[in-house]
Amino acid sequence: MHPLIELMRPTEWYKNITVVLGILLALLYNPGILISPLTFSIVLLASICLSSANYVLNAITDVKSDKHNPLKSKRPLPRGSVSMRMAHHFQLCLLIIGFILALYVNIPVFLICGLLVLAAQLYNIPPLRLKDISYMDVISESVNNPLRFLIGWYAFNPGMPPIQLILFFWTSGAALMSHKRLMELQKGPLHRKVLKQYSKTALQAATILYGLVSALLLMLVIL
Q: What is the pLDDT of residues 119-176, one digit of tens each?
A: 999 999 999 999 999 999 999 999 999 999 999 999 999 999 999 999 999 999 999 9
pLDDT digits (tens, 9 = 90+) for 27-86: 999 998 889 999 999 999 999 999 999 999 999 999 988 888 777 888 899 998 999 999
Give the per-residue pLDDT at 189.
59
pLDDT digits (tens, 9 = 90+) for 83-114: 999 999 999 999 999 999 999 999 999 999 99
Distance CA(75)–CA(89), nearest Å, equals 18
CATH topology of domain 3-158: Tetracycline Repressor; domain 2 (1.10.357)
User: What b-and-e string marks burial along 128-162, b requiring 16 or more CB atoms within 10 Å of the CB?
Assistant: ebbbbbbbbbbbbbbbbbbbbbbbbbbbbbeeebe
Cis peptide before 126 (omega within 30 of 0): no
Nearest by Cα to 87 from 65, 114, 63? 63
Q: Considering the entire predicted model, what is its pTM?
A: 0.94
